[in-house]
Each structure stands twice: as C-alpha cells, then as structure tokens.
Amino acid sequence: MSTASSTAPWNRSARFTSNPAAREPGAIRWLVIGVALTFFAVFLLLPLLAVFAEALRKGWAAYLAAISAPDALSAMRLTLLAAAVAVPLNLVFGIAAAWAIAKHDFRGKNVLITLIDLPFSVSPVIAGLCYVLVFGAQGWFGPWLAAHGIKIVFAVPGIILATIFVTVPFIARELIPLMQAQGRDEEEAALVLGASGWQTFARVTLPNVKWGLLYGVILCNARAMGEFGAVSVVSGHIRGQTNTMPLQVEILYNEYSFAAAFAVASLLALLALVTLVVKTIIEWRAGAELRPDEAP
Amino acid sequence: MSIAVRNIGKSFGSFVALDNVSLEFPTGKLVALLGPSGCGKTTLLRIIAGLEYADRGEVILDGEDASDRHVRERQVGFVFQHYALFRHMSIFENVAFGLRVKPRSQRPPEREIRRRVMELLELVQLGWVADRYPAQLSGGQRQRIALARALAVGPRVLLLDEPFGALDAKVRKELRRWLRNLHDELHITSIFVTHDQDEAIELADQLVVMHKGKVEQTGTPREVYAAPATPFVYGFLGAVNEFRGSIDGDYLRVGTSALPIVGGDVARGQSAVAFARPHELEIITDGGSGQAGIGATIKRIVDIGSIARVELSGAACEEPHLYEVELPSQRLAELNLAAGQPVRLVSSRLRAFAQGERS
Amino acid sequence: MATPRRHRVLPGFGLSLGLTISYLSLIVLIPLAAVFAKSAELDPAQFWHVVTTPRVVASYRLSFGAALLAAFINVVFGLPLAWALVRYDFPGKRIVDALVDLPFALPTAVAGIALTAVYAGNGWLGQYLEPLGITVAYTPLGVLVALIFIGVPFVVRTVQPVLEDLDIEFEEAAASLGATRTQTIRRVVLPMLTPALLTGFALAFARAVGEYGSVIFIAGNLPMVSEITPLIIITKLEQYDYAGATAVAAVMLVVSFVLLLVINVLQAWMMRSNDKAHA
C-alpha cells in the first residue's frame, strides 16, 4: 500500500521521457500504455461505471425510492454506527502503537509489527468466525452471555467487533513508518526545552503526522463502511436491524431487485470515490509539505 | 555553571560506549569533545544533557548530583546535529517553544515572549526569517536558529552535537568564527562534540580527546598539540611521521639507522614507536655516512606559498614507508633538492612510546 | 552505584505499549486463538476427514489456484501499468493513478455485483465474450476475474515507488556501456524490480486466497466447481457445523501465517535492495 509520503507521480515523468538513456521508442511506449490502459479499463473502470449505470437503469425516481427505503436507511444507520465506533478506537490504537514502536526501542518490536498486520492476511470470513467461536451460543462465553441476556453475535455488537477486527491495522501502519522516518530528534528537542511528555506529543509529534493520520482514518473508514465478509458471518441478516449497507446490497441482489441493489451499491461506490479523491489530495498536500523548497 | 562527570560507564548491548569516564568542565569555557566516530563523545554529551542515562557514574551540575534528574529539569541548552527544528512551526514559534511550554505560573506574558524571541533572532542575525518555516532556510541559518532556540530558555550550559557537521566547508568556517564570538559575548559554559581537529583547535578553550570510550588527553589545544600524551592523540591531532624501532639509550634504532629521541620513558631494548610532526623533521643532504638520521629518497616536492612540503620514501624499514616534511620555501631553495635524490632525515623533537600502545 | 539504571527519556512507553498489546490481544489474538482451540477439540482423524473431503479439497484447488493465477496476471499487467504511470505521459494519467486504489476503497460486495454485471452473458463485456465460447460469470473464470480485480493495487503500488526511486544513473551507465534499451531493461532494471514484483505477487496472493465478497456473486458457487474455501466455511456455519467450519478455517489460517512470514521476508529483501539502489 502506498503511504502518505509517496509524492505525486504524474508530474515526475519528464526526467525519463527527456533522457535518451531511459527512453523507449515511441511505438513501444504507446504499446505499453495501451496494454496498461486496457487492463485498467477492463478490470477497474468498467465495473465502476457499471455500478452507476445499473443503479440508474430504472430512472431517478426508482433510484431515489430505493435509497430511501426504510431498510436501506436503517442499513445506512448501522454502517455509520459501526464506522463511528471502529474508526476512533483504531485511531487511539494506531497512535499508541506508533508511539511505542517508532519512538522507543524494545525487544520483539518486529513481531509486534507483524501481529498488527495480521488482520490483513486473515480471510474476513475467519475474522467473523472467530467472534462466533468466542461469543456465539457454542462459544467460550456463549452460555454466560445467554444467561445474562446479552447478545453479541448475530446482533449489532458483533457487527461492530468484526468491523474493528478487519480495520485494526489501517491507521497504525500509516503512522509507524512515518514516525520512524521522522526520528526522535524533535521530541528530544522539545523535552530539552522543558516540555512535558503530553506537550511534546500534542505540540510536536501529532502536528508532524497529521496528514498520515488523516490518510489512515480515510482508508480505515472506507474499509469499515464497506466490510462484507466478516460482518456477513456475525450478522443475523435481520432486515432493518442487523444489516449494514453491503449486506443490504446482497439481500436485494439475491432477491433479484437488481436496480435497488445497485442503487445502494452506488452510494458505497460514491464513498469509495470520495475516499480516493481525499486520499489523492492528502498525498498531494503531504508531498508538497515534505519537499523542502515548497513548504508553506 | 560547572559541569563534572564521575566514573561514567555506558554500554549498548555488548558495545562499550563509555568506560569509566571522569571529567571536569570549567565554568564559562568552551570545551571540545574530540574523537573519531564511535569514540563515545556524542553519548557523553547526551548523558550530560539527560537524553541518555548512564549505566554507572554521576553527572554533577553546579556541584549537585543530577544523574537522576530528567532532561526537562536540567536546564541545559542542546543543539542537535541535524538541528531538530520543529518542521511544522514557524521560526518564531520554534524559538518561542521553550517559553510557551513553561507552566502557566512561570510563563512570561505574550509581549515578553515576543520581545525575547526577536532579541534572540537579532542576536543570531536572523530577525528577518521569523515568519518562515525551517524547510525554507539554508543549513547555516537552521543551525543559528537551533542555537537561538536553545538559548531562549536561559540554559545554564550549552551542549552542541557536531554543530557544523552537516554544513559545507565555507559556511562551516564562517559559523565557527561566529560561534566563538558569540561565546565570548555570552560566556556560557559550553561543550561541543566534533571529529574535526581543526574545528576543535580553532574554537575550543579546552580539548578532551576521546578514543574507544576513554579519555586520552585533556588540555588546551596548544598543550595537546605540542605534547600529545598517547600515540593515538599524536596520530589523531595533526599530520605526523611515524618511526618504528627499538630503544637504545637516547636513540631509537630503525634498521641500521639511529634517531635521537627527546621525550618518552621507554625501557632500553624495548621496541617502540616514535613520532615527529612534518615541521619537526630536518632534511640533510651532505650524504655523510654518519649514523645520525634515517635514509630516504625524495619523491615529490610541493612548493606553494611560504611553506613547502616534501614527500619522501623511507629506505630503512622492510616495508616502504612514506614521510612528509614541511619547511620554509627559503630553506628548500637553499637545500636545492630534486626528486630521486637520496637524503637523510633527522629530528630534534622525536617522542617515543612503547610499542603495542598504538592502536 | 552497583545497580544499573534503566530509564527512558521519552515518556509514555509503558502506557502506549500496554494499550497496544491489550487491544491487539482482545480484538485479534485471543479471538484467532479460539479458532485453533476449537479445532483442537476435534480428534485428529475427524479433523483430517473434515479438511480432506473432496468438496473441501476442490475448494482449496480453486481458491489457491485462482489466487495464484490472478496474482501472476496482476504481475504481468501491473508492471506495464506501474511503468506507464511512472515513466510516461498520457491523457487521464492522474485519474488512472487515483483509481488504481479503487479495489482498496470499493466494498467487495459492490465489486462483486459490478463485475457480474459487466461479465454476465448479457453484460457489457460478457455479451461479446459469450459468442466466442468464453463464459466468465458463474464459472471458475469468474472467480479469477474477481481475484484479479482485488489484486491490482497490490502489485502496482508495490512496484511504483521502487520504480520511481530507481536511480536513473543505472540506466545511463548501461547505455554508456553500449547496452541496447531491451538489454538495459532486461538485465538492469527488471532485476532491480524483482523484489518488489515478488512482494506485490505475495500480497495479492495472500489477499486473494481469503477473499469472499467480490467472488461469491460472480462465482456461481457450484460445489466441486466454483465454490471457494471461505464460502465452505460460511456454508458449514449456516448448517451449524461449527466444528467443520473451524477445522477448515484453521487450515486457511495456517496458510495465511505462512504467507505472512513469506511476505515479511520478501519485504525485508525489498528494503535491502532498495538501499543498495540508492548507494
């Protein structure tokens, strides 16, 4: 995954195209571009356009009706709720992890970094499954929870937990390399100048990583709102209660309400597009800030 | 304020960075910690600042044991090698930082902060960059801002880690002179770390030469240069010619030749190494077969300005050995030397050390 | 001073590390441990039987085979895409660059139905492929298409920065020594990109093996033919066969851990060779 520090690549190709030692013949160049763009169009662009085309197939009225249906609205509410819980928790976690890992030395650091990445390499289905095994009727705490009338799996808490699981690494993995690259000099300088630990963190560390932080939050939020596999396992698929937007898409689709399914999907696709736009802006802003001669 | 360290020891894993170091730093002086990289000088500076804690020993600030005092409470000014300016703050805010983070009761009013910061920016001759950001300044300017920021809190001592290390040669020379003047003005007890002998000699009142976690020698630049205490100091401080042989009375025997020695306390018959600066060697051309001096052949003569440099290859040792002699141009003309000419080298100031001491 | 002191100058270490480890344990590690704990409750023969029934084995073949092939295709096409983005100018480049990350941002369920709409028999592309005898949707080929989609950014985003940072002097040196452009790319540039390409391959593969949302809509999910392993787990869960689901999940988890290890080794290699490229 790219990090916030990677600079905008689109205006940097001149040094290659103008260099006779690093330039391909025109025909080859256009062939490569042609292959790249065809691949891009077939696998990325067409599916994206299809979402919006299918969503509007039955006209705007049907579209608006589909996205304002009560079930759709309650799915939106649940999706927003899950993200509203998962993102702040993972934000606190990400900051704590990055502070410990980037600003201190300790044994087992690399193991910890690997463990933080773990949710990325675990199938979302397994993420959901493991909460069923812990909190489900047959699970470790199942009988106790049942006795106390608490429902986690196949209910809203399970959906939130599964969402947190799959989004754990997002913010931490943006912050850790960024804070490692920035070193400890500035924090030490602040301490020498008499700042307390909290002042050092709030006035020096945090402002220095604000773009990376925002970047992580944006990606974390996109995944939190869009997670399907993990949530699907722990959701009871109860309409109007335990359905998130992606689950609602599935239900509508399986009922052959294609236009409605794509209408709800188009909202998620819009979210994805907004995410990409914000992400690109952050890369552009952070890139400008990191290049020494163009600082504000 | 006076600074002293006693029996400081510090290891990183199996690497011994500082081995039982004890030093006194006189009040109001500018002291250089000089040594090659990895000799422990930066670690010592960071321990004095409180950015690192020693495994053993004490740091004494103003006669008081400060070993367990947090860096925040030590009231030291520290200038980082790469300046560590806060990149997201303007220059003004950088310098004001130390004043702004004071507890409310001790924090000066805004107008006072403004006055202090501008005063310091004027002191480092950079009043006009107050609204800029660190990334917009040159290396030399950043260095001066880092110093202004360190001075803002009224530190009792000033510690500088390789203050000119990241600058190019010309700026380095200018800033050196400027820092010396500033120190003469402020008289704040200062310690700086450097691996550059010229910088240390030109700038410091006192030198501390360090090697492999130990102090090799302390003294004024003149003392240390004129009378190096160890072979290491000899080799590290200034150009030097090296002679290996064994001691025979007041002579060092090198192969079939003998050189008279002045200093050193090496037992008779012991193998030894002796040193002479390039200007402490004399070239003899009369080719006399006397035992005085060591045979050498002239390789190259560099005659620019008032001092000429002659490079010679030695003949007395098994392995080829290069010598360097400096002499006034006038003297060179008198000697009428030519490349390839066999000559003899004698020294009036050869100091010998027992062999094996040299690392 | 007999006791050595051990302090940390920067504060908050205990708090931040404590928080990190507790959170990670509660949210990730302990629940994952439950998978192994539960699968250990099965006796070995039973476990072996569950994870080797023909239907499950067929799903492994599909999940791993399609993931491998998809990752390979992503390398083949991701390299030109990264190359074009770094080295060439063409209209719409900024938009293409931004949209490469679409599979990260687009919910997998949306991707699944969108790909189905494009590749179904009456879809935008499907209608032209069907007469050629190529049926994508509801076949293993559909699984492959979905896995290619979600793998695109992994390869491109791993190769792109390396290509960007590659010092042009290497190519200038090769050219000055008389190498043709093809020789330069084949013998100088590509070897330097190999660690990044392999890392991208491994990342895309790891992601594809566990992928669920984008696959199930386009796969058709026919047992023995187009049923992926994560779907087997879900199906077993829906039949209340917790033991069976857990056993299959344990197998997948072990594979994931091995992949994670491989990726770590590859990334360390990539970092080392990057350092060399800057020397």
Taking 90 as the threshold, does the pLDDT of residue C159 lie above it? Answer: yes
Closest chain C residue to A103 measured between Cα atoms? C10
* CB-based contacts of A290, cutoff 8 Å, min separation 6: A5, A7
Per-residue pLDDT tens digits for B268-311:
777 888 888 888 888 888 755 555 778 888 888 888 888 889 99
Which of A186, A204, A295 is closest, CB to CB, to B136? A295
Of A44, A96, A104, the CB nearest to C99: A44
Q: Which residue in C has a C-alpha nearest to residue B67's C-alpha? A: C5
Contact A126/C96, CB-based, under 8 Å? no
- How far apart, in Å, are the Cα atoms of A156 and each of A77, A80, A241, B6, C85? 11, 12, 8, 63, 43
Report the pLDDT averaged over residues C38-45.
88
Task: State whether residue A5 sits within 8 Å of chain B by CB.
Answer: no
CB-nearest partner of A192 from B76, B86, B134: B76
Asked if B51's CB is within 8 angstroms of C9's CB, the reply is yes
Q: For C9, which of B7, B52, B57 is closest by C-beta distance?
A: B52
Secondary structure (3-state) at B11:
strand
**CB nearest C113 (choices: A9, A32, A249):** A249
Tokens standing for residue B105: 């009761």
Confidence of residue C102 (pLDDT cuts 50, 70, 90): very high
Asked if B166 reaches chain A (Cβ–Cβ under 8 Å), the answer is: no
- Nearest CA distance, B68 vs chain C (angstrom): 9
With bands split at pLDDT 50, 70 and 90, how would you rate the model's confidence at A46? Answer: very high
Q: Look at A195 and B49 and tell me if their CB atoms are within 8 Å.
A: no
Look at C234 and A232 and tell me if their CB atoms are within 8 Å. Answer: yes
CA-based nearest distance C104→chain B, Å: 30
Give the strand pairing for B241-248 and B271-276: antiparallel
Which among B152, B48, B40 has a CA at the least distance from the CA of B93?
B152
The SS3 of residue C173 is: helix
pLDDT tens digits, one per residue of C51-83: 999 999 999 999 999 999 999 999 999 999 999
Residues of C in contact with A200 (CB under 8 A): 10-11
Tell me how far apart the alpha carbons of residues C264 and B148 are, in angstroms, rounded to a whole number. 45
> Rounded to an integer, what distance in angstroms lies between the CA atom of residue C190 and that of residue C162?
11
pLDDT at B224 over 50: yes
Please indicate whether, in this complex, the C-beta atoms of C160 and A54 are within 8 angstroms of each other: no
Rounded to 5 degrees, what are φ and ψ at C23? -60, -50
- A202 interface with B at CB cutoff 8 Å: no
CB contact (8 A) between residue C6 and residue B53: yes
Residue C279 confidence (pLDDT): 47
The backbone torsions φ and ψ at residue B168, rounded to the nearest 5 degrees and listed phi first, read -80, 165
C108's tokens: 């997998």
Amino acid, res. C230: P
What Rg do the C-alpha atoms of chain B give, in angstroms?
Answer: 25
The pairing of strands B251-254 and B257-260 is antiparallel
The CATH homologous superfamily to which domain C44-278 belongs is MetI-like (1.10.3720.10)
pLDDT classification of C260: cutoffs 50, 70, 90: confident
Instruction: Evaluate if residue A289 carries a pLDDT over 80.
Output: no
Distance from C-alpha of B10 to C-alpha of B55, rounded to nearest angstrom = 5
Contact B335, B285 (CB under 8 A): yes
Cβ C100 vs Cβ A55: under 8 Å: no
Task: Name the H helices within C42-187.
Answer: 44-51, 54-87, 93-99, 102-105, 108-119, 126-129, 140-165, 169-176, 181-184
* pLDDT beyond 50 at A291: no
Residue B81's SS3 state is coil
H helices within chain B, ranges in order? 41-49, 91-100, 110-123, 139-152, 169-186, 197-203, 221-226, 231-236, 329-335
Which whole number is the average pLDDT over B129-151? 93
Secondary structure (3-state) at A58: coil
pLDDT tens digits, residue range C184-243? 888 889 988 998 999 999 999 999 999 999 999 999 888 888 999 999 999 998 888 888
Q: Burial level of B123, CB count in 10 A (0-12/13-18/19+)?
A: middle
Instruction: State the Cα–Cα distance between residues B23 and B218, nearest whole angstrom.
Output: 9
- Whether the complex's predicted ipTM surpasses the cut of 0.85: yes
Which chain C residues are closer than 8 Å to A106 by Cβ? 13, 17
